[in-house]
Amino acid sequence: MKKILFIDRDGTIIVEPPGTFQVDSIDLLEFLPLVISSLRQIRQELDYELVMVTNQDGLGTPAFPEETFRPPHNLMLKILEGEGIHWREIVIDRSFPADQSPDRKPHTGKVKHFMTGQYDLANSFVIGDRLTDMLFAKNLGCQAIFLGKSADTTEDYLAGNDDLSEVIALKASQWPEIYQFLKNRDRLITHERNTLETSIRVRLNLDGSGRTAINTGLPFFDHMLDQLGKHGGVDLQITTKGDLHIDEHHTIEDTALALGEAFALALGNKRGTERYGFALPMDDCEAMVTLDFGGRPWLVWDAEFRREKIGDLPTEMFFHFFKSFSDASKCNLNIKATGTNEHHKIEAIFKALARSVRRAIRRDMQHFELPSTKRYPLMKVAVIDYNAGNTRSVYYALQRLGIDAVFTDQIDQITSADRVIFPGVGEASSTMRYLRKLGLDKVIPSLTQPVLGVCLGMQLMCNWSEENDTKCLGIFDVDVRKFVPRRQEKVPHMGWNRIYQLDPKMFEPQLEESTLTLFIVTTCRFLLLQRHSVITYNPFRLLSVGTIFLRPNSIQKNRDQLAPGLSKNSWSFKKIPDLCTSYRQLILLMANVSDSNKGCTNAKKSITNNR
């Protein structure tokens, strides 16, 4: 889950004018010392998203006209953006203190969407200079950082007799203290995993001292996990309640998954870590465990056990445990063990894993860099939310790959992202209406970073669509029309067809054939236009009810089917031998597009052929 810094504006980012406490002209705009460099380091190095939350008393009224607020506010944002400091959201309350609005800090009315369980609020912070900011943190369920102390005490009474000492994690006098505090915090995570078979709670501190408290209901399993904590130098608490009345399988597997997930969460972006492995002897046995917390799960297992059980632990579950841990923690894990004593052998494996973990998670705070030469983990990807279908699934797919992604319709988040995905589900005209309502019909064509259009997203990048006679974004000078096959050849299906009820038993009797519309794309192709990737997605062909298959083909083979009559010189092709089968490949593909080209603003508009 994402961690957030909820940051106050006046008195925290910019200097608050004495007396009026109101920044209503550019002449009054002054940044706090070292705030820009500190925020830049936080944004670039740490796993926090930034949300500005500010009370602007009476904004939009004669007491504080909008036209006096916007110039200094916009200039502040522009300066910060120039330093790579982008905001997930900017929350402004315009009420007066006397209004007692539930949306005004320290109340949480305007930030309820951050309190739905999708964000790690326990490890998030409110940063501010007022007691109301500290109370806001308490109401949010966050921790707080108290920066100085505002001269404006108008609303201090709201804190009343509340004890805020447990909320305030740091009292700082300047921003570099905040950066160092956040950078050096223990990588502590509490993670729960609940299924029908098991309920598991893991508390993991990667910067601990080897203290453990393990209770899985399987004593020998507890003993092995204890080795992982003590020899790995991590504080580890695991409580598992599983269906042991059936067998040990779910308890062992789900504990491994929960533990792996906890490691992945605690490691975060892995800056400053070493990532890599270890070997260890134990009496007659030798175990070698090498690992890489690089984001790609893989297990190589070279260990044999002759006994059915060691203690109360089935030996057949050893492989399963490490496979589940590797999958959940997204690590490469190579394990080899030799020897005759079965107890020694598995204990040596766990101890070698622990020592590998100890070395891999060690941080060099003086060289706080990402241990990778690849570009994609550093990219911020914005997935455009246009209020249709299951487009959020694209965001979830990116998250599972460890890519820093945001699902959003906010203009500032889209324009500040390194890459943008415009996914495809829905109908053209209604989607265009929604984009116009948000102003995204102007924003998307002006983007200069690489943009991936998926299905409907690709369709809307063109001039016009035959689907309900829709005027689109006009990035590509082409029209989208229904494909009409010549003779009987197969073509990628972009028609808008009805489902005909061939078998009366196939659907409910009351379902009329005219009530359903089906949008299908039967094949998948990639076209790279300058820096603009275009894809028709959902590459499935309906054979019969319940039967679907994926059919990858090369772009060259079916170019004429994709766009009959299209001049070879009209498009900039990059040959892709096979279908890209994952969003990881799509992101890598986008990352490798030349930076010398531009996105939507430089897209070719030389395609004039009618389709």
Q: 3-class DSSP state for residue 161? A: coil
- 549 has a pLDDT exceeding 50: no
Structure confidence at residue 117 (pLDDT): 82
Centroid of chain to Cα 246: 37
Which residues are part of the catalytic machinery?
Answer: 8, 10
Structure confidence at residue 372 (pLDDT): 54
- 370 has a pLDDT exceeding 70: no
Cα 366 from Cα 428, distance rounded (Å) = 52
Structure confidence at residue 487 (pLDDT): 62
Res. 371 pLDDT band, cuts 50 70 90: low
Q: Which residue has the higher pLDDT, 273 or 599?
A: 273
Q: What is the mean pLDDT of residues 304-331?
A: 92
Picking from 193, 206, 258, 264, the residue whose alpha carbon sits closest to that of residue 233 is: 206
Cα 189 from Cα 262, distance rounded (Å) = 7
Spatial contact of 8 and 128, defined as CB atoms under 8 Å apart: yes
Sign of CA dihedral 155, 161, 166, 172: positive
**What does pLDDT average to over the chain?**
77
Q: What is the pLDDT of residues 33-77, one digit of tens each?
A: 999 999 999 988 888 899 999 999 999 999 899 999 999 999 999
| φ, ψ (nearest 5 deg) of residue 408 | -155, 155
Cα 140 from Cα 41, distance rounded (Å) = 25
Picking from 372, 420, 377, the residue whose alpha carbon sits closest to that of residue 395 is: 420
Structure confidence at residue 148 (pLDDT): 85
- 494 has a pLDDT exceeding 50: no
Res. 29 pLDDT band, cuts 50 70 90: very high
Kind of pairing, strands 278-282 and 285-292? Answer: antiparallel
Q: What is the pLDDT of residues 253-276, one digit of tens each?
A: 999 999 999 998 888 767 666 666
Query: To 10 degrees, the CA torsion angle through 556, 562, 567, 570?
Result: -90
Cα 275 from Cα 206, distance rounded (Å) = 13
Q: Which residue has the higher pLDDT, 531 or 167?
A: 167
Q: What is the mean pLDDT of residues 405-409?
A: 84
Cα 329 from Cα 238, distance rounded (Å) = 16
Picking from 65, 69, 67, 62, the residue whose alpha carbon sits closest to that of residue 28 is: 69
Burial group, residue 182, by CB count within 10 angstroms (0-12, 13-18, 19+): buried
* Inter-axis angle of helices 342-361 and 219-232, nearest 10: 40
Q: What is the mean pLDDT of residues 563-583?
A: 37
